[in-house]
Amino acid sequence: MRILVLGGTMFLSRAVAADAVARGHDVTCAARGESGTVPDGAHFVHLDRTAPDWTALEGEWDAVVDVARTPSWVAAALDHLAEAHWTFVSTISVYADHSTPGGTPETLPLLPPITEDVEQDSAEAYGSSKVACEQDVQARAREAFIVRPGLIIGPEDPSGRFSYWPERLAEGGEVLAPESPDRDTQAIDVRDLAAWIVTGAENRLTGVYDATGRVQRLGDLVDEVSKAVGGDATVIWAPADFLLEREVTYWAGPRALPLWLPDDARGMTSHDVSAAFDAGLTTRPVGETAADTLAWLRENPDAPRTGLSRAEEQDLLDDWYTVNG
């Protein structure tokens, strides 16, 4: 197949291109080339979507994969490429309800679309822009495959969220963890998601899917990651009020315990993804993702990281013992 990846120079879109090349497809990646390089074996075409020149991309494509979040970028791509099988990589941030567990595209309400291009410094603006992009793809592409990932993890992750855990657990010792091992978590290895996107293009899959891994207890994820990275961690689960009083934050960023979510976001990590699995998605154990992520972090010491510093964590553990004796 002739596959055009709009992107292809980083993380997911790069993994899609790499997977498609490995399967013998003829792969072109169109981007500025600022985020990185395309995988070996893929062709690179310069495209700046803020002022796109589509001349070099005219022609017949069997499949297009787009990861954009800006409605005018997607609209312009559709003007030129709507005849191909279209995978639009969206997000579970399109939903207006993040509190109901077990949601699916059929059961969860969407945010209202924002069709104009906006600065996306909020989750709502991001989600609403993606809704508008999805709707354009569904209206105009001959075959639309809408993929809504949850947290994407693995080597080359630019967010550093999951990466915190393999790196921290590999160091061992007493490791501070958020709230309870019984909380749900849910994530997908970037290579598994990429493989399913390529399979979807090969099979001309259409429809709307939440695309993340199966729900897992946070405690099981921590145990599995710890074993896979060879750490001898003793995990201290600190309750939410202890953490919040000390300004530890949810999910990502400075002073965060990555992957921790508030109660009213429980739905984000408990989607029912059986439809994606029924349609061919397969996922590897999180321990494998952890080991590969750690290897990548060690080869790339400047890779993005997020979350508590070791000094902050130690202060919190000291406090924990002061409070709990």
Residues of the shown chain interacting with ligand NAP in the complex, contacts defined by CB under 6 A: 7-13, 31-35, 47-50, 67, 69, 89, 91, 149, 151-152, 159
CB 240 within 8 A of CB 179: yes
Q: Which is nearer to ligand NAP, 86 or 242 (CB)?
A: 86
CB 145 within 8 A of CB 200: yes
Q: Which is nearer to ligand NAP, 91 or 226 (CB)?
A: 91
Q: Which is nearer to ligand NAP, 50 or 324 (CB)?
A: 50
Q: Which of 52, 130, 109 lies closest to 267, judged by CA?
A: 109
CB of 10 vs ligand NAP, minimal distance in Å: 5
Cross-strand bridge partners of residue 63: 3, 85
Query: Position of tokens 């993380």?
Result: 11
Q: Which of 271, 278, 279 lies closest to 104, judged by CA?
A: 271
Q: Which is nearer to ligand NAP, 186 or 226 (CB)?
A: 186
Residues 6+ apart with CB under 8 A from 247: 255
DSSP H helical segments within the chain, as ranges? Answer: 11-22, 71-81, 123-140, 164-171, 190-202, 218-228, 240-245, 274-278, 286-299, 310-324
CB of 285 vs ligand NAP, minimal distance in Å: 19
CB of 47 vs ligand NAP, minimal distance in Å: 5
Q: Which of 5, 13, 20, 312 lies closest to 168, judged by CA?
A: 312
CB of 265 vs ligand NAP, minimal distance in Å: 14
Q: Which of 1, 78, 8 lies closest to 43, judged by CA?
A: 8
Q: Which is nearer to ligand NAP, 149 or 231 (CB)?
A: 149
CB 89 within 8 A of CB 65: yes
Q: Which is nearer to ligand NAP, 57 or 233 (CB)?
A: 57
Q: Which of 176, 189, 182, 187 lies closest to 15, judged by CA?
A: 189
CB of 35 vs ligand NAP, minimal distance in Å: 3
| Distance from C-alpha of 11 to C-alpha of 155, rounded to nearest angstrom | 8
CB of 229 vs ligand NAP, minimal distance in Å: 21
CB of 249 vs ligand NAP, minimal distance in Å: 17
Q: Which is nearer to ligand NAP, 127 or 178 (CB)?
A: 127
